[in-house]
Chain A
Amino acid sequence: MWEYTDKVKEHFLNPRNVGEVENPDGAATVGSLACGDALKLTFKVDENGRIQDARFKTFGCASAIASASALTEMIKGKTVEEAATITNQDIANFLGGLPEEKMHCSVMGREALEAAIAHYRGEPGPIEEGKIICECFGVTEEEIARVVKENNLRTIEEVTNYTKAGGGCGNCHETIQEIIDRVRGEGQAVIRPKLSNIQKIKMIEETIDREIRPLLHQDGGDLELIDVVGNRVLVATRGACASCAASHLTMKQVVEAKLRELVWPELEVEEVSQ
């Protein structure tokens, strides 16, 4: 049995915004009966460019229904531009997480949203063309590459969980691995996962402990992490560092550089006196 969060169960048992908007401004259907899930999303935009109503119809399992219900709740009241930034991870987060094997439900939500926005803007569908990699589930190279990039996927199994690709006959496993290798080979910084605050703080602490403290200890100095506010890392110097005139430079050149490299590229280290 799947471990669904209470929020998934709640949205599955009492789905919000079921149906179709009359005369929709944006509309799209993704998925298919053969694949086992499909989602039809329709929305209406008011004169200020805000999504005033959004409705869905889903054929699929509990998490597919919950993801679609969540998606409609998330985009209502947003401008189309704001809605366009929603990722599949945002949908999963809204629901308190999805089982790994069910992440493809959140990806289906994001795909429907994108296709409906493209329809609203009069653009061609985002992933209409492209080379089909997985014949069983009709998944294209672009789709796989994108999901790998956005969710920092590492294995074929993860790609299957997120897109279904490779979940049928398995003939495409080699090609999927090539796509993973290629995408992960391009610019490491781009494919960093989104970090939660807790994850960020933990990684900063670990990096200070492992990479930075030993360097400072060599000169009899030390460093204490005081707080993390957004991307600002507040630290206080201790020992020899506290009275060292060059400590500002150390902060920028050593501490900040290390944290940017190993944790998050936008971090800024600030020294506070405490």
Chain B
Amino acid sequence: MNPVYLDNNATSQVAPEVLEAMLPYFHDLYGNPSSMHTFGGQVGRRVRQAREQVAALINAQPEEIIFTSCGTESDNTAIRSALATNPGKRHLVTTRVEHPAIHSLVARLAQEGYRATEVPVDADGRLNMAQYAKSLTPDTAIVSCMWANNETGVIFPVEEAAVLARNRGILFHTDAVQAVGKIPIDMRRSAIDLLSISGHKLHAPKGVGVLYVRKGTRFAPFLIGGHQEKGRRGGTENVPSLIGLGLACELAGQNLEKENTLVKSLRDKLENALLERIPRSRVNGDRLNRLPNTSNISFEFVEGEAILLRLNEFGICASSGSACTSGSLQPSHVLRAMGVPFTMAHGSIRFSLSVYNTEKEIDFVIDTLPPIIDSLRKLSPYWEVGDAICSRVEG
């Protein structure tokens, strides 16, 4: 059974062209790009090209691109660098809905004696900009605010937020792993200082990422070692993956329009059909200001893991913000920050599409999911003859 893969915010398939481009660098062209000989040097040229390809996608300069091992490393590097280069400042600003790469790091920094402000979001997952502006202080070293939320797809006004930070002399970092390749990004017209990219979210392999560091930004390396990446990130380059990421970025640039037409229309078709066919369902997050590929829908009075495992029987891959799937006992911190009621939060399913999805697949999901929800609701003590009896059971 071929999977119907609608979990692209978790990871995405490596584009066939990307894999093709990588393969020679595992066997024939295995040289070290730092070597003096031609055998290694030719690889170095190819790495330079990959750097240019990445820079082109976000309209940056190649020397502003540092290759890392993943988005999490990029995030850690950015924040630690900002704190190290601003030793007098002890405060950070972030949001309540960040990815664990930032969320857990900020919790750790709090233990180390830093103060952190987590800016809240409203019921649609939109950042509270008034609170954000108020949170910036002379003691603030860095703001870290995701560009787009991985669970809901809601896009934050990071450009506007970055300007506010710059005006106060505060560094601005954005975790853009979900946004890059899905919406246009132009670093030349931006006030953002640091930006994280993850390869495997845009059809490059796992294990490669990028940290964009604006020219002129003071920087302290995270991994200390050799002179690779101009001494900003030690460790021999993951050559095949960097080359793969370069091509993936070029392809993402070419597919950007498709993401916002084709992928978006498939997403909208899926979302509208499910909302229409399944009573007591709703979209989580601001539908107007959202990534074109993401849909987070809650089905009231059913539990997300049960939905996922029933979908799994049909080869349909999605994810959920329910407690049982979050690895903790509480539903997703993003949905909780938005104040999504428990009846909805436990039954949330995230579909995230890519350019590889087809209309046929979407039609299959539209036909498959409603009976699954219906049968699980028949199992639920909170559901009777097509409607909720929650109030009665809960007393």
Indicate if the CB atoms of A167 and B305 lie closer than 8 Å: no
Give the CA-CA distance A169 to B379 in the complex, in Å.
30
Q: Restricting to B336-395, which residues have a CB under 8 Å from any CB of A?
A: 342-343, 346, 378-382, 390, 393-394
> Which residues from A are CB-within-8-Å of B154?
none
Expressed in whole angstroms, the minimum distance between the Cβ of A27 and any Cβ of chain B is 11
Indicate if the CB atoms of B329 and A160 lie closer than 8 Å: yes
Give the CA-CA distance A15 to B394 in the complex, in Å.
24
Give the CA-CA distance A164 to B342 in the complex, in Å.
16
Nearest B residue to A168, CB-CB? B330
Indicate if the CB atoms of A36 and B323 lie closer than 8 Å: yes
> Which of B309, B329, B381, B393 is in CB contact (< 8 Å) with A137?
B329
Indicate if the CB atoms of A136 and B381 lie closer than 8 Å: no
Residue of A15, A34, A38, A160 with highest tally of chain B CB at under 10 A = A34
Indicate if the CB atoms of A57 and B379 lie closer than 8 Å: yes
> Which residues from A are CB-within-8-Å of B301?
33, 59
> Which of A2, A15, A38, A136 is in CB contact (< 8 Å) with B330?
A136
Indicate if the CB atoms of B329 and A36 lie closer than 8 Å: yes
Indicate if the CB atoms of B330 and A33 lie closer than 8 Å: no
Expressed in whole angstroms, the minimum distance between the Cβ of B138 and any Cβ of chain A is 32
Nearest B residue to A20, CB-CB? B381
**Does B198 count as interface, using CB distance less than 8 angstroms?**
no
Indicate if the CB atoms of B322 and A57 lie closer than 8 Å: no
Expressed in whole angstroms, the minimum distance between the Cβ of A169 and any Cβ of chain B is 9
**Does B331 count as interface, using CB distance less than 8 angstroms?**
yes
Give the CA-CA distance A32 to B380 in the complex, in Å.
11
> Which of B309, B343, B346, B393 is in CB contact (< 8 Å) with A29?
B393
**Does A267 count as interface, using CB distance less than 8 angstroms?**
no
**Does A37 count as interface, using CB distance less than 8 angstroms?**
yes
Expressed in whole angstroms, the minimum distance between the Cβ of A98 and any Cβ of chain B is 12
Indicate if the CB atoms of B329 and A59 lie closer than 8 Å: no
> Which residues from B are CB-within-8-Å of A39?
381
**Does B306 count as interface, using CB distance less than 8 angstroms?**
yes
Indicate if the CB atoms of A61 and B382 lie closer than 8 Å: no
**Does A65 count as interface, using CB distance less than 8 angstroms?**
yes
Give the CA-CA distance A164 to B324 in the complex, in Å.
11
1/0 contact string of A43-75 vs chain B (CB within 8 Å): 000000000000001111110110000000000
> Which of A12, A18, A160, A167 is in CB contact (< 8 Å) with B306?
A12
Indicate if the CB atoms of A58 and B322 lie closer than 8 Å: no
**Does A13 count as interface, using CB distance less than 8 angstroms?**
yes
Give the CA-CA distance A164 to B19 in the complex, in Å.
44
> Which of A32, A36, A164, A168 is in CB contact (< 8 Å) with B303?
A36
Give the CA-CA distance A228 to B258 in the complex, in Å.
70
**Does B328 count as interface, using CB distance less than 8 angstroms?**
yes
Indicate if the CB atoms of A61 and B381 lie closer than 8 Å: no
> Which of A15, A29, A160 is in CB contact (< 8 Å) with B379?
A15
**Does A40 count as interface, using CB distance less than 8 angstroms?**
yes
Expressed in whole angstroms, the minimum distance between the Cβ of A134 and any Cβ of chain B is 10
Indicate if the CB atoms of B378 and A29 lie closer than 8 Å: no
> Which residues from A are CB-within-8-Å of B112?
none
**Does B313 count as interface, using CB distance less than 8 angstroms?**
yes
Q: Restricting to B282-328, which residues have a CB under 8 Å from any CB of A?
A: 301-306, 309-310, 313, 322-325, 328
Indicate if the CB atoms of A36 and B322 lie closer than 8 Å: yes
Expressed in whole angstroms, the minimum distance between the Cβ of B255 and any Cβ of chain A is 29
1/0 contact string of B50-62 vs chain A (CB within 8 Å): 0000000000000
> Which residues from A are CB-within-8-Å of B330?
36, 136, 167-168
> Which residues from B are CB-within-8-Å of A33?
301, 342-343, 346, 382, 390, 394
Indicate if the CB atoms of A61 and B379 lie closer than 8 Å: no
Give the CA-CA distance A61 to B328 in the complex, in Å.
13
Indicate if the CB atoms of B378 and A61 lie closer than 8 Å: no
Nearest B residue to A165, CB-CB? B329
Indicate if the CB atoms of A32 and B306 lie closer than 8 Å: no
Indicate if the CB atoms of A32 and B394 lie closer than 8 Å: yes
> Which of B310, B313, B380 is in CB contact (< 8 Å) with A59?
B380
Nearest B residue to A13, CB-CB? B313
Give the CA-CA distance A60 to B303 in the complex, in Å.
5
Indicate if the CB atoms of B305 and A61 lie closer than 8 Å: yes
Give the CA-CA distance A37 to B378 in the complex, in Å.
15
> Which residues from B are CB-within-8-Å of A32?
394
Given the known inter-chain contacts A33-B382, A33-B394, please indicate yes or no for A62 contacting B309, CB distance below 8 A. Answer: yes
Given the known inter-chain contacts A32-B394, A38-B381, please indicate yes or no for A61 contacting B342, CB distance below 8 A. Answer: no
Residue of A2, A13, A32, A57 with highest tally of chain B CB at under 10 A = A57
> Which residues from A are CB-within-8-Å of B323?
36
Nearest A residue to B327, CB-CB? A101
Indicate if the CB atoms of A59 and B342 lie closer than 8 Å: no
> Which residues from A are CB-within-8-Å of B378?
18
Given the known inter-chain contacts A65-B379, A167-B329, A168-B330, please indicate yes or no for A34 contacting B303, CB distance below 8 A. Answer: no
Q: Please list the 7 inter-chain residue pairs (A to B) with the smallest Cβ-Cβ separation, ordered nearest first.
A: A167-B329, A61-B324, A61-B305, A40-B381, A57-B381, A36-B323, A59-B380
Cross-chain pairs A/B with CB under 8 angstroms, 18 sampled: A13-B310, A13-B313, A18-B378, A29-B381, A29-B393, A33-B394, A37-B303, A58-B379, A58-B380, A58-B381, A59-B301, A59-B302, A59-B379, A59-B381, A60-B324, A61-B305, A61-B322, A137-B329
Known: A33-B301, A38-B393, A167-B328. 10 other contacts (CB 8 A): A9-B309, A13-B310, A32-B394, A33-B342, A36-B329, A59-B303, A59-B381, A137-B329, A164-B329, A168-B329
Interface residues of A (CB under 8 A from B): 2, 9, 12-13, 15, 18, 29, 32-34, 36-40, 57-62, 64-65, 136-137, 160, 164, 167-168
